[in-house]
């Protein structure tokens, strides 16, 4: 059972464009949704995260939009740059109330930003 579904699998964007990656989750108990960026041969790096009590969070060029009723959230990268070319993973976990807090990841989106 895939608890976090991510799309698209790959994405090509022109420099300066907007990159949009979508995720949907099944477990309504999830209360913390981070996004990670991973370059080849490196570990995932935490980009930005959101809790379900807000609908949007922005940090620099990165914005998370969250729709609790639809159980969906998305990452928007504004003014995409070639240096943003990487694999992006959405994830979900419980961040409160006890539990092991393990992250459940989507399958990833390979983003290519053309110059």
Partner 1 sequence: DTGVSQDPRHKITKRGQNVTFRCDPISEHNRLYWYRQTLGQGPEFLTYFQNEAQLEKSRLLSDRFSAERPKGSFSTLEIQRTEQGDSAMYLCASSWWASPGTQYFGPGTRLLVL
Which of 19, 62, 108, 113 lies at the binding interface for partner 1 (CB under 8 A)? 108
Q: Which of 35, 36, 62, 66 binds partner 1 (CB under 8 A)?
A: 36
**Whole-Å CA distances, 31 to 11, 46, 57, 68, 92:** 27, 17, 15, 10, 7
How many CB atoms are closer than 10 A to CB 28? 9
User: 19 or 108: whose CB is closer to partner 1?
Assistant: 108
Interaction site with partner 1 (CB under 8 A): 6, 32, 34, 36, 41-46, 49, 89, 91, 93-95, 100-108
């Amino acid at each position: 059972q895939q608890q976090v579904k991510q799309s698209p699998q790959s994405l090509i964007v022109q420099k300066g464009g907007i990159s949009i990656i979508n995720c949907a989750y099944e477990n309504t108990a999830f209360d913390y949704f981070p996004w990670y960026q991973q370059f080849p041969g490196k570990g995932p790096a935490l980009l930005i995260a959101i809790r379900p009590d807000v609908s949007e969070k922005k940090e620099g060029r990165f914005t998370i939009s969250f729709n609790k009723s639809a159980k969906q959230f998305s990452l928007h990268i504004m003014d995409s740059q070639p240096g943003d070319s990487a694999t992006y993973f959405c994830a979900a976990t419980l961040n409160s109330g006890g539990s092991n807090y393990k992250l459940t990841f989507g399958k990833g989106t390979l983003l290519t930003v053309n110059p």
